[in-house]
């Protein structure tokens, strides 16, 4: 089951990306020679109009083969075929080629927004309330010691009514080292009074009491509002994940440059496979969330200004726009080859890191 879900996720991610390139190329009047599902060798293909639509042996993702995608001096373009004048990728204006290159990334972002939007539509829209609830409890913390439970609502601290997260944090920090009276509501009507002492020097990330709190609840709105509200939250969620992924990439590059190794918490193909299995056990909505996260990740990776990626090709377009001439095909090919070698080496390091982490477990 994990393998099937893993293949399905990768196929959807890459297929949607390539579909973006395909649609943008068609719109720009570029001849699409082949649009394939999976990786060759080809199992089945049918030519419709000028494009071959194929199904290939390895059912992971897809590809688009554009006429004239290689540098203009290559054998494929040299001497444009009759009836194909102006149909080659490299014959199109820079803005149209840029649109084709950005289309894959755009489709991945849209896929992520749709995935997150569906989750918010099903679970509800995050809405602020005046109820401060316990949403996490650290091991061996004062909160665990006195029996606090998830979803307990904090009503008051030492008689001071609590209606915001900030109030609770401020009071628990002020009273560090002193016993406090905590009034909580469990369930609908079970009020409890607990006594505990906030820590002066808690472990990093735990806070004086060792609890995670929130005043946000998932709220359902009328059915006709939910699609729009879900899309809004899905967009915000995509941006949030994008920021986290960029921070992780920065951390990875810094570690490689300063320590010559990949951070332990970075996951490659093996790690993604493992997480896929965990998501599959939690049901289709968990898989959908994971799909959204990976789709944002794929979009960001592809837009990076690295050779062999869409972002790297955009850099060459920028050079062409500034220099008003196409880059030397041989130099471009060498740079792309070196870029691909770097990416493969990085993927190998991350995969080795995945394997060592699994062995340690």
Q: pLDDT truncated to tens, each residue of the chain (361 aa)?
A: 788 888 888 889 999 999 999 999 999 999 999 999 888 889 999 999 899 999 998 877 788 999 988 655 544 444 445 456 678 888 899 999 999 999 999 999 999 999 999 999 999 999 988 899 999 999 989 999 999 999 999 999 998 999 899 999 998 889 889 999 999 999 888 999 999 999 988 888 888 999 999 998 889 999 899 999 999 999 999 999 999 989 888 888 787 778 777 666 677 777 787 888 888 888 899 999 999 999 999 999 899 888 878 999 999 999 999 998 888 888 888 888 888 888 778 777 777 777 776 666 5
Whether 171 and 99 share a structural domain: no
CATH number of domain containing 203: 2.30.42.10
For residue 55, list its beta bridge partners: 37, 44
Q: What is the pLDDT of residue 29?
A: 92
CA distance 16 to 21: 9
- Among 18, 34, 91, 237, the one annotated catalytic: 18
CA distance 281 to 275: 10
Q: Is 301 exposed, middle or buried (0-12, 13-18, 19+ CB in 10 A)?
A: middle
Q: What is the pLDDT of residue 84?
A: 67
Tell me whether the omega of the peptide bond preceding residue 41 falls within 30 degrees of 0, making it cis: yes
Whether 199 and 274 share a structural domain: no
Whether 245 and 327 share a structural domain: yes
What 8-state DSSP symbol labels residue 328? P
230 lies in a domain? Answer: no
Q: What is the pLDDT of residue 300?
A: 93
Could you tell me the residue range of the domain that residue 170 belongs to? Answer: 125-219
Residue at a domain's end among 219, 250, 271: 219
326 lies in a domain? Answer: yes
Using DSSP, state whether 213 is helix, strand or coil.
strand
CA distance 121 to 117: 6
Residue at a domain's end among 219, 254, 282: 219
Q: Measure Cα distances from 118 to 10, 126, 242 in Å.
A: 19, 14, 18
Whether 113 and 130 share a structural domain: no
Q: What is the pLDDT of residue 351?
A: 76
Is 151 designated active site? no
Whether 79 and 135 share a structural domain: no
Whether 76 and 7 share a structural domain: yes
286 lies in a domain? Answer: yes
227 lies in a domain? Answer: no
Residue at a domain's end among 219, 247, 276: 219
How many domains are contained in the chain?
2
């Amino acid at each position: 089951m994990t393998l099937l879900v893993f293949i399905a996720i990768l196929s959807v991610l890459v297929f949607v990306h390539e579909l973006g390139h395909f649609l943008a190329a068609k719109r720009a009047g570029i001849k699409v020679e082949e649009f394939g599902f999976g990786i060759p060798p080809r199992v089945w293909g049918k030519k419709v109009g000028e494009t071959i639509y194929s199904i290939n042996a390895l059912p992971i993702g897809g590809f688009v083969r554009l006429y004239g995608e290689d540098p203009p001096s290559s054998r494929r373009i040299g001497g444009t075929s009759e009836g194909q004048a102006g149909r080659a990728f490299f014959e199109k204006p820079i803005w149209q080629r840029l649109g084709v290159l950005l289309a894959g990334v755009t489709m991945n972002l849209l896929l992520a927004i749709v995935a997150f939007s569906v989750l918010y539509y099903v679970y509800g829209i995050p809405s602020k309330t005046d109820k401060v609830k316990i949403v996490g409890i650290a091991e061996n913390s004062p909160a665990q010691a006195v029996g606090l439970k998830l979803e307990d609502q904090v009503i008051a601290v030492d008689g001071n009514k609590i209606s915001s997260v900030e109030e609770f944090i401020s009071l628990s920090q002020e009273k560090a080292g002193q016993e406090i009276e905590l009034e909580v509501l469990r369930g609908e009507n079970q009020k409890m009074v607990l006594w505990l002492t906030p820590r002066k020097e808690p472990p990093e990330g735990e806070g004086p009491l060792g609890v995670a709190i929130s005043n946000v609840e998932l709220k359902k709105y009328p059915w006709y509002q939910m699609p729009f509200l879900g899309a809004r939250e899905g967009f915000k969620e995509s941006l949030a994940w994008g920021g986290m992924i960029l921070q992780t990439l920065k951390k990875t590059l810094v570690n490689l440059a300063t320590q010559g190794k990949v951070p332990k918490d970075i996951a490659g193909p093996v790690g993604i496979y493992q997480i896929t299995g965990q998501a599959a056990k939690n049901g289709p909505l968990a898989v959908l969330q994971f799909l959204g996260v990976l789709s944002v990740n794929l979009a960001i990776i592809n837009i990076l200004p690295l050779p062999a990626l869409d972002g790297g090709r955009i850099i060459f377009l920028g050079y062409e726009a500034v220099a008003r001439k196409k880059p030397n095909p041989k130099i471009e090919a060498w740079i792309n080859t070196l870029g691909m070698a770097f990416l493969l080496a990085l993927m190998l390091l991350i995969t080795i890191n995945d394997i060592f982490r699994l062995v340690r477990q």
